Structure 1
């Protein structure tokens, strides 16, 4: 592994995880190859964690302070961190505190992880299901100061999500819609609100309605009232 791969810069991320962009490929063969890499990477993480647990048990008699200085235990923990940095979703757990993602080298992979879940939900669920990671990333990405390329990707994600049947934590995308609100997003939502799919009509209509009411919270009560046709009573 090169110095760049060990580092937290974009080159290091690409060397460790560049193959993961195949997870969203339209070519099934490319996607299958990326899925195989991911399965192997996650197996490596599990094996490394087993080694950490084994060494923790063996060094426990040393006491907490000496245990964490013990060479074999320290090396097991380093190997586990390296394995995590080359796998999804584990690599994304090193997100900057406070959700400041704009300059984070892992940002393209956070977007990739969400795009994969949006476009190929069955494969995502089978190979890397992590609802908490999805929720955290969507919340952290719901900010208005992204550059145009990131904003465009977030608009794409909002559209994909409203067009499909609801999945766990999809409601969090209302935050993103509010953060990247604009004519482009509203045009896509308006088209989705006229789609044949009842899911798309309901969800797109709900998001558009909330965009016009920025002070109204996106709560389960508000959603249920919208679905029940009680939006007029909510303002």
Structure 2
């Protein structure tokens, strides 16, 4: 696949695969569980800015992922959020960060925090430190 994802014939299927996992996690786990594939596809779609329709789809995916319970490789969506960063995405993340859901508050807060700090890497250690701080603030 070349650098221009708009011409990649697999893009609609990659987006569908990621949407399936985001919207129907139990069914996806039962029939298609492939964490490495999920991670690889997220990294692929986050490599380059996209046309508006694809950016909108990716923004929807980031929102879907942050409002549900965290699943394996979800942290990779920070890559996507950094590529499609916009007032629309930040508004959605702010609403999620203010929601009644502790999952949404934690994950959306983390993504917003990293969007404001592009120099901080999205590592497992950074995520674990963020989660530990959020859990401590709930006690």
TM-score normalized by structure 1?
0.55
1:229 partner SS: helix
Deviations 1:59-81 (A, max 9, x none): xxxxxxxxxxxxxxxxxxxxxxx
**1:126 matched residue in structure 2:** 30
Higher relative contact order (CA 8 A, sep 6+): 2
**2:54 matched residue in structure 1:** 150
CA distance in 2, matches of 1:181, 1:203: 16
Segments of structure 1 that go 5 or more residues without pairing to the other structure are 1-95, 231-235
Higher alpha-carbon Rg: 1
Q: Which of 81, 85, 88 pairs up with 1:184? A: 88
Deviations 1:132-163 (A, max 9, x none): 11110000111342000000000000000000
> Which piece of structure 1 moves more, 139-148 or 179-188?
139-148
Segments of structure 2 that go 5 or more residues without pairing to the other structure are 135-139
2:7 partner SS: coil
Q: Which of 198, 211, 216 pairs up with 2:120? A: 216
User: How far has the Cα of 1:99 moved from its partner?
Assistant: 6.3
1:210 partner SS: helix
Deviations 1:156-208 (A, max 9, x none): 00000000111111110000000100100000000000111100000000000
CA distance in 2, matches of 1:186, 1:160: 13
Structure 2 residue 57 is matched with structure 1 residue 161: no
User: How far has the Cα of 1:229 moved from its partner?
Assistant: 2.3
**2:137 matched residue in structure 1:** none
User: How far has the Cα of 1:226 moved from its partner?
Assistant: 1.4
Indicate if the aligned counterparts of 1:142 and 1:179 stay in contact, CA closer than 8 A: yes
TM-score normalized by structure 2?
0.91
CA distance in 1, matches of 2:44, 2:10: 13
Q: Which of 16, 29, 41 pairs up with 1:112? A: 16
CA distance in 2, matches of 1:180, 1:127: 29
Equivalenced residue count is 134
